[in-house]
């Protein structure tokens, strides 16, 4: 049974350990990779052996955080999961570690406490924000490499500081790392201002699937494997697609259904009136109040109707 531990306990554990394996979640994003590599650099500065692993390849767009990374080869003695709320997020190539995680560092309220010990800061905007506190607790001075990772994690998980999870502490953390020389303008340009041609192609396909429900207060988009193949897009290019429905004026709930093996991954984005995590929890998923996900083993149309039925109940309860 997992137990919650304090920041001081987290740091004491890490100080005593060596040969540390740090795990990122499947389909890695800026927060999981930023958190993992910030911790990696901190541990290495302490003279410890550490490496980062992920079930999926690291996307090219994040290579600036680890341009010369060559993983150390050793038999892991301690395993840390960063930004992984549930074992379903490990991915096939990391499933062998599911029952071996010693410590999970996370910010998702839906964390299932699968690790032996968990350090969860549910009101943090990103796990990278939490990781900065961990690095401070280790007595390590932040360098530019760590700061770049932390900024990237925070910026990507807050939608460049636009999402409601952004707090005063989030801005203070960003200010601190920018003060260390982080090129925030270039990072934000890469993360939010540039798109590949295949990303534009998949967006075109997605817009053609748009449906409106609940008096136009709910927008639904779909992504099938056929659409991805037609666009020539891969997983690394899909970050942020699920935000498209809620960019539409008047939409309070945005639903994205993406075809995966055996069913559909559901991504939910909501306004302040609807709790996305409560909706996804009814399908065994979770996340945050404004952004959550789940998986439904069903056909596209059936999965869509199941989600919409719960969304309609949420609108009724909120009297919207």
Strand duo 263-270 + 253-260: pairing: antiparallel
Region 289-315: mean pLDDT is: 95
Contact 289, 123 (CB under 8 A): no
Tokens of 29: 């994003």
User: Is 3-192 a domain of CATH 3.90.1640.10?
Assistant: yes
Which ranges in the chain are annotated with CATH 3.10.310.30? Answer: 197-318
**What 3 state SS string does 47-98 have?**
CCCEEEEECCCCCHHHHHHCCCCCCCCCCCCEEEEECCCCHHHCCHHHHHHH
Average pLDDT along the chain: 95
Distance of alpha carbon 211 from alpha carbon 115, whole angstroms: 40
Which of 9-13, 182-186, 283-287 is predicted least confidently?
A: 283-287
CA 179 to chain centre: 25
Distances (CA, A) of 156 to 33, 35, 64: 11, 12, 14
Q: What is the C-alpha separation between 230 and 298, in angstroms, rounded?
A: 23
Asked if pLDDT for residue 140 goes beyond 50, the answer is yes
Are 103 and 130 in contact, with CB atoms under 8 Å apart?
A: no
The candidate with the shortest Cα–Cα distance to 177, out of 121, 240, 135, is 135
Tell if the pTM clears 0.75, that is, is over it.
yes
Match domain 197-318 to its CATH number in 3.10.310.30, 3.10.20.30, 3.50.50.60, 3.30.390.30: 3.10.310.30
Residues of the chain with CATH 3.90.1640.10: 3-192
Helix (H) or strand (E) run with residue 166 in it: none
What per-residue confidence (pLDDT) applies to 271?
87
pLDDT tens-place string over residues 213-243: 999 999 999 999 999 999 999 888 888 899 9
- Res. 2 pLDDT band, cuts 50 70 90: low
| Distance from C-alpha of 37 to C-alpha of 34, rounded to nearest angstrom | 5
């Amino acid at each position: 049974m997992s137990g919650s531990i304090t920041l001081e306990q987290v740091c004491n554990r890490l100080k005593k350990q060596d040969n540390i394996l740090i795990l990122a979640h499947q389909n890695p994003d800026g927060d999981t990779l930023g958190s993992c590599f910030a911790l990696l650099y901190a541990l290495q500065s302490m003279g410890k052996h550490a490496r980062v692993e992920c079930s999926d390849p690291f996307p090219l767009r994040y290579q600036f955080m680890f341009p010369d990374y060559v993983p150390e080869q050793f038999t892991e003695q301690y395993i840390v999961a960063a930004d992984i709320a549930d074992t379903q997020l490990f991915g096939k190539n990391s499933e062998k570690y599911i029952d071996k995680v010693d410590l999970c560092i996370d910010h998702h309220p839906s964390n299932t406490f699968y690790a032996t010990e968990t350090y969860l800061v549910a009101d943090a905007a990103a796990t990278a924000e939490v990781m900065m506190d961990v690095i401070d607790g280790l007595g390590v001075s932040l360098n530019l490499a760590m700061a770049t990772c932390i900024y990237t994690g925070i910026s990507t998980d807050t939608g460049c500081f636009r999402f409601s999870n952004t707090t005063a502490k989030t801005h203070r953390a960003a200010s601190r790392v920018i003060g260390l020389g982080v090129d925030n303008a270039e990072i934000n340009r890469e993360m939010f201002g540039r798109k590949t041609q295949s990303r534009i192609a998949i967006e075109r396909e997605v817009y053609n699937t748009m449906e409106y429900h609940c008096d136009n207060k709910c927008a639904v988009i779909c992504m099938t494997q056929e659409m991805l193949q037609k666009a020539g897009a891969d997983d690394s290019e899909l970050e942020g697609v699920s935000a498209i429905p809620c960019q539409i004026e008047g939409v309070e709930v945005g639903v994205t259904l993406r075809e995966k093996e055996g069913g559909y991954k559901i991504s939910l984005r909501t306004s302040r009136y609807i709790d996305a995590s409560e909706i996804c929890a009814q399908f065994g998923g979770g996340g945050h109040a404004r952004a959550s996900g789940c998986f439904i083993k069903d056909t596209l149309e059936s999965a869509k109707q199941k989600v919409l039925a719960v969304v309609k109940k949420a609108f009724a309860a909120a009297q919207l």
